[in-house]
Amino acid sequence: MTVSSNTRSRRKNLLLDIMLFVICVLLLMPLLLLIANGFKTPQEILVWPPTILPKDPTLENFHRVFSETPLFRWIFNSLSFALLSMIAIVITSTLAGYVVAKFQFWTINVIFTLFLATAIIPFEVYMIPLYFQVKALGALNSIGGLLIGYLVMSFGIFLIRQNVIAAVPDELIEAARIDGAGEFWIFWHIVVPLLKGPIAALSVLAFFQAWTTFAWPIVVLTRKTAFTIEVGLANFQSAYTVDLALLSAASAAVMVPSVLVFVLLRRSFVEGIAASGMKE
């Protein structure tokens, strides 16, 4: 009976593995097709039924992308914006999350509730008033103008708060206070080291939020050399046609930084997100 039970368990696990493999292949197929299209000629891209692998691979699309467009400049702009936004969000979220979790005042709870409420308000609702503020500051076509809309993340504060509650005991903080430690020393030397996983998860979320944003940059940026990569890719579409070969090559090239960030921080990302669901 034990052998039969083990056999059924192995068969069940094998079936589950096969199902997960098929799902992964289906999810990755559009991505693989995008990369393959970057190596195809414009004529082959339009062939029906579409081919998965290019019959006559070419690097001409990548050569044209890097020679005819300021792609490196767009990538640099996006990286600068995403990294600075990530740093700002990590700092504001860790400080606010720690304060909300460990300092019990009714005003703090009210402010925290208001911050969470802003998460249901689409950014486009207050994007135009924010644009006029950026214009009044003379920050159009600059990284600083972009950052004004991406300095704080309400979900980031919630994420850090949940992890502070779960991972930082009150007794540890009280012991440090009794020993004469200041609040900033406690935060930097005790709280932050215990939140490495959640901070890494928040870093990934903040980076991708800024890296992939489109609506805000297209409003703030009007000069071609100031474009982020998302706005730059939109320029491959003209009024009547879309250059699919160049667009595929450019999209494949700009995926590299975001994939590297996720690969390097994937384990901490999963651990931090999982911990945020813990009950108080």
Q: What's the pLDDT at 84?
A: 94
Tell me the per-residue pLDDT of 74-111, one tens digit each, with 9 for 90 and over. 889 988 999 999 999 999 999 988 988 888 777 877 88
What digits encode the pLDDT tens for the residues 211-244? 888 888 988 888 888 888 888 888 777 645 666 7
For residue 267, give both structure tokens: 């384990």
11-70 confidence digits (pLDDT tens): 788 888 889 888 988 888 888 888 888 888 777 777 777 777 787 787 888 888 888 788
pLDDT in tens, 197-207: 888 888 888 98
Question: In this structure, what token pair is assigned to residue 51?
Answer: 């081919």
Rounded to a whole number of angstroms, the CA Rg of the chain reads 24
CATH 1.10.3720.10 fits 72-275, yes or no: yes
Contact 54, 36 (CB under 8 A): yes
Q: Is the pTM of this model over 0.75?
A: yes
Scored b (16 or more CB within 10 A) or e, 35-56 reads ebbbbbbeebbeeeeeeeeeee
Distance between CA 236 and CA 67 in Å, rounded? 14
* Residue 144: strand, helix, or coil: helix
Is cis: bond before 49, omega within 30 of 0? yes
Nearest of 201, 15, 173, 209 to residue 101 by alpha carbon: 173
- Give residue 86's pLDDT: 92
Find the DSSP H helices in 137-195.
143-147, 154-167, 170-178, 183-186, 192-194
Q: Report residue 189 as tokens.
A: 């030397």
Q: Do residues 272 and 201 lie in contact, with contact meaning Cβ atoms separated by under 8 Å?
A: yes
Quick one: what percent of the chain has pLDDT higher than 70?
A: 90
Angle between helices 60-68 and 244-275 (to 10 degrees): 90
Tokens matching residue 148: 């004004």
Indicate left, alpha or beta for 138 from its phi (over 0: left) and psi (-120 to 50: alpha). Answer: left
Q: How is the chain split into domains, by residue range?
A: 72-275
